[in-house]
Structure 1
Amino acid sequence: MIEIKQLAKKFAVENPKKLSEQEKKDPRLKGRFFHSVQDVSFTCQKGQVLGLLGPNGAGKTTTLRMLSTALKPDGGSVEIDGDNVLTNPVIARKKIGFLSGSTGLYGRLTGRENIHYFGQLHGMSEESIASRIKELADLLDMHNFLDRRSENFSTGMKQKTAIARAVVHSPELVILDEPTTGLDIMATQTVLEFIRGLKEQGTPVIFSTHHLDEVEELCDKVTVIDQGCTMFDGDIASFKALAEGSLHQSFMAAIQSTTSE
């Protein structure tokens, strides 16, 4: 089980005068610090897909970056099966596969070489890397571009390669930050099928998205963040029950709540 408790992260504001009027009105701005994440808590069980929702600037990406140990929180804890990954980042990197908002591929390397390099970083054997790349290329439909240099990839090709790179070591938890943004219908469906496959294998997946149809199709749980705080954390049925109507109405009901669920 993945358990996140009371995560918090603030950033120093270098020049308050350069903030927009909207930023100045944000209640998270306190003195010379912006409290991007103030109090975020949720859990995700094995085999569950959790959809992380929130308005732009709510703190979703900051939260996911803390889960991956790319950012060090100011408070709170993240435990995977009882191991506090914040106090032992080495464990975190073994247990977690993380796809950030930008693919960050090495343009002069082929798709295969990008994935292979990360397999080496995780200490995998050459045989294991080769076998895993073939498996991922099958699952993500990558064979027709796998040996081309990634600087010439389309958005969909880059995203598929970045996902394969993130999970090459068969992590215990997969974190995806808006994995379908900018993808066409076919590429989106391939990524969603891949997430469904992870779920069937028992691998928990946490992914942020603005597409509520993806939430309805894939998610067992929903966590809604607004202004750096958890406003809802529950199963999909409970989320739908927040409003008599669409998931959009449930989302609006969650962020208009004044108390954490």
Structure 2
Amino acid sequence: MLQIHALTKRFVGESETVCAVDGLSFEVGPGEVFGLLGPNGAGKTTTLRMVLGLIAPDSGDAEVAGIPTSVDPFAAKAKLGFVSASDGVYPWLTVREMLLYFADLYGVGPDEATARLHVLAEVMDIEGLLDRRAGTLSTGQRQRVTLVRGLIHDPPVMLLDEPTRGLDVVGVQTIFRYISHLRHVGKAVVVCTHRLDEAERLCDRFGLLHRGKMQYEGTLTQLRGVSGREHLVEMFDDLMNPSTPPNEIPT
């Protein structure tokens, strides 16, 4: 559903050139949650921005539902849903108005948009919020509305960038339920986070990024076998404070 082929991005500064993403490749299938993990500066958000078409890669490409972003970026974007820690609600619109507005932006017809809104509002428990102005919502309520907004056009691929940042325990559990729903309805999901304990609970497979390169990729069982470590945080500690160069899982 999502295929990343040797994506590379360099940023040229006054004194040095930084390779933010270095030949990154992975794929995510329907109903699979892939954790793209790493510390700040590892290249996670840069990767998502290239997939979303916000920045152009220096080399490599991404395919969304079989559509190369370099060939037809608008068609590829229409197959993507995106959720980040920033809610970006429109405060003067009601929740219903805002969600139907986004559905219209993606070319979803009024009847279909209304039907999807009804289903998603029930899934995310925002039925009682639909006719409230978005600017009056609490942080947790805005987050639930943002999660519905990402799915209103029924994209096959969902990208989540640090979705639990700044949320309390209740908000985090909402994200967990949302990702379970995405898996259940067959979405291909990429979760970018540095919360490794949460990633172990959420994800089916993992890609561990360090300095823009994929160091480990696989299920938690595979990563434990190749790294000799039990938990993701221990694997990253080895990567960031190596006594010997880390092994790589062939992909």
1:248 aligns with 2:225: no
1:2 aligns with 2:2: yes
**Alignment correspondent of 1:113:** 97
**Alignment correspondent of 1:211:** 195
Say if 1:134 and 1:73 are closer, same or farther in 2 by CA, change over 3 A. same
1:254 deviation in Å?
4.8
Matched residues, number: 245
1:258 deviation in Å?
4.2
Q: Deviations over 1:45-93 (max 9, x none)?
A: 1111001110111111111111111222111111234321232112212
Aligned equivalents of 1:204, 1:171: Cα separation in 2: 9
**Alignment correspondent of 1:20:** none
1:227 aligns with 2:227: no
Where does structure 1 lack aligned partners over 5 or more consecutive residues?
17-30
Residue 53 of structure 1 contacts residue 223 of structure 1 at CA under 8 Å; is this kept in 2? yes
1:195 aligns with 2:179: yes
Q: SS in structure 2 opposite 1:214?
A: helix
Q: Deviations over 1:181-240 (max 9, x none)?
A: 111222221221111111122211001122223222221110111111111111221123
Aligned equivalents of 1:258, 1:171: Cα separation in 2: 36
TM-score normalised by structure 1 residue count = 0.86
| Percent identity of paired positions between Structure 1 and Structure 2 | 37
Partner amino acid, structure 1, of 2:235: S
TM-score normalised by structure 2 residue count = 0.89
Partner amino acid, structure 1, of 2:54: A
Residue 8 of structure 2 contacts residue 19 of structure 2 at CA under 8 Å; is this kept in 1? yes
Q: Deviations over 1:2-61 (max 9, x none)?
A: 211211122343xx4xxxxxxxxxxxxxx4533322222111111110011101111111
**Alignment correspondent of 1:25:** none
RMSD: 1.9
